[in-house]
């Protein structure tokens, strides 16, 4: 009997091990596969399983220990397990310190420190270490005479927060990047530290792997309706209405699972505004409305064998068009977000 038990244990352990020659990107650790059905109850339901949603779930579990609130039940709901429309994996994976808003600069500085020590934060015992394929390279913003004053003011704000950013004259710009046409350029700003790009797929999986190891549940489905205290037979004052249930609809089915919850985190990205249109939400829980609507964006890939090499920054010109190198074989990624 003991031998049979050990045999079953050995087979179970073997089934949990990655195949020979596999790497982190090609093997999904146990527990990451979405649960067939969501649990009946959760303290927090996170709508959206992109990098923001999984980051929220991770930090909730980390704060759990700090505030001695052990046993917090967190559920992440993602409607598209292939992530075919997710902003996370469709982005070019950039990180920069050059923002015009103080809070964005501070958050990006924190993110840079977090990514630098990512294995201390997101590493899981007995799992392969995380390599997000970070490529250190500054952002290079070009400014016309009309935009020079704004660029300079932004750099002053960034420097005040400790960001390492250089201002370049057209002459300095040409000396450093001789392949750039500086005609019509008044100045440029160039990040010297904590800027570059990485593989967003790996970062998403790292957050997801760590969060699930901490006990976060995840399921494939779509939150389309809510039940709130305003639906009670004897409701309290309208301004105190609270969410009581989130209805999660299963893929390709009219079936839904009601999940009792106290808090819902809207991490639905471009579809965050649509979530507030879900059935059952009283008006006071939808105020103020989120002015967020999905818009088409494009990232193009091209090959230019004689283009700039390792010194190529992530360049943003005066029109808002941007590009960066993709590897070292003359491949590039770029695009431009339309104004509307």
Determine the Cα–Cα distance for residues 218 and 186; give it in Å rounded to an integer: 50
Asked whether residue 105 falls in the same domain as residue 218, the answer is no
CATH of the domain at 240: 3.50.50.60
Model's pTM, two decimal places?
0.84
| Same-domain pairing of 299 and 191 | yes
Q: How do beta strands 44-47 and 196-197 pair?
A: unpaired
- Distance between CA atoms of residues 301 and 299, nearest Å: 7
For residues 100 and 235, state if they share a domain.
no
The reply to whether 73 falls in a domain is yes
Is-cis flag, bond preceding 288, omega within 30?
Answer: yes
Instruction: Give me the pLDDT at residue 153, please.
Output: 98
Q: Are 114 and 145 contained in the same domain?
A: yes
Please report whether residue 299 resides in a domain.
Answer: yes
| Angstrom distance (rounded) from CA 50 to CA 47 | 9
Mean pLDDT by 10 residues, the chain (340 residues): 54 44 38 74 96 97 76 93 89 96 97 97 96 96 97 98 98 96 96 97 96 94 90 60 91 89 94 88 76 87 94 94 94 85
- Compute and round to an integer the Cα radius of gyration of the chain: 24
- Answer yes or no: do 192 and 306 share one domain: yes
177, 146: one domain: yes
Find the CATH number of the domain harbouring 153: 3.30.9.10
In a shared domain, residues 167 and 51: no
Within this chain, do residues 304 and 223 fall inside the same structural domain, yes or no? no
pLDDT of residue 235: 58
If one counts every other C-beta atom within 10 angstroms of the C-beta of residue 92, the result is 16
Domain that residue 168 falls in: 94-198+295-335
Residues 109 and 220 in one domain: no
Q: Is residue 67 located within the same domain as residue 216?
A: yes
Give the other-Cβ count within 10 Å of 304's Cβ. 11
Q: What is the DSSP string of 15-67?
A: HHSPPTT--GGG---TT-SPBSS--SB-SEEEE--SHHHHHHHHHHHHHHHHT
Residues in CB range of 296: below 8 A, 6 or more apart: none
188 in a structural domain: yes
Residue 205 and residue 62 in one domain: yes
């Amino acid at each position: 009997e003991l031998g049979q038990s050990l045999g079953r244990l050995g087979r179970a352990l073997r089934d949990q091990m990655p195949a020979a020659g596999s790497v982190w990107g090609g093997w999904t650790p146990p527990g990451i596969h979405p649960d067939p059905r969501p649990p009946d109850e959760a303290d927090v339901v996170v709508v959206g399983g992109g990098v923001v949603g999984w980051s929220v779930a991770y930090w909730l579990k980390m704060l759990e220990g700090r505030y001695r609130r052990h046993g917090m039940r967190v559920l992440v709901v993602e409607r598209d397990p292939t992530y075919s429309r997710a902003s996370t994996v469709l982005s070019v994976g950039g990180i920069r310190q050059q923002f015009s808003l103080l809070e964005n600069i501070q958050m990006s500085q924190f993110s840079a420190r977090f990514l630098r020590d990512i294995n201390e934060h997101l590493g899981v015992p007995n799992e392969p270490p995380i390599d997000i394929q970070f490529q250190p390279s500054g952002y290079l913003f070009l400014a016309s005479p009309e935009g020079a004053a704004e660029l300079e003011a932004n750099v002053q704000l960034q420097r005040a927060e400790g960001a390492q950013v250089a201002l370049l004259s057209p002459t300095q710009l040409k000396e450093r990047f001789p392949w750039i046409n500086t005609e019509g350029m008044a100045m440029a700003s160039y990040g010297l530290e904590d800027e570059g790009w990485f593989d967003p797929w790996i970062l998403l999986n790292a957050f997801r792997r760590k969060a699930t190891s901490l006990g976060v549940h995840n399921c494939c489905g779509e939150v389309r309706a809510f039940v709130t205290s305003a639906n009670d037979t004897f409701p309290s004052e309208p301004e105190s209405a609270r969410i009581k249930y989130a209805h999660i609809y299963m893929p390709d089915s009219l079936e839904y699972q009601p999940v009792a919850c106290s808090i819902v985190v809207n991490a639905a990205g471009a579809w965050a505004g649509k979530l507030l249109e879900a059935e059952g939400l009283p008006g006071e829980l939808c105020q103020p409305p989120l002015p967020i609507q999905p818009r088409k964006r494009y990232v193009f890939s091209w090959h230019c064998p004689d283009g700039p090499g390792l010194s190529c920054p992530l360049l943003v010109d005066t029109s808002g068009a941007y590009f960066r190198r993709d590897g070292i074989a003359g491949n590039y990624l770029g695009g431009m977000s339309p104004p509307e």
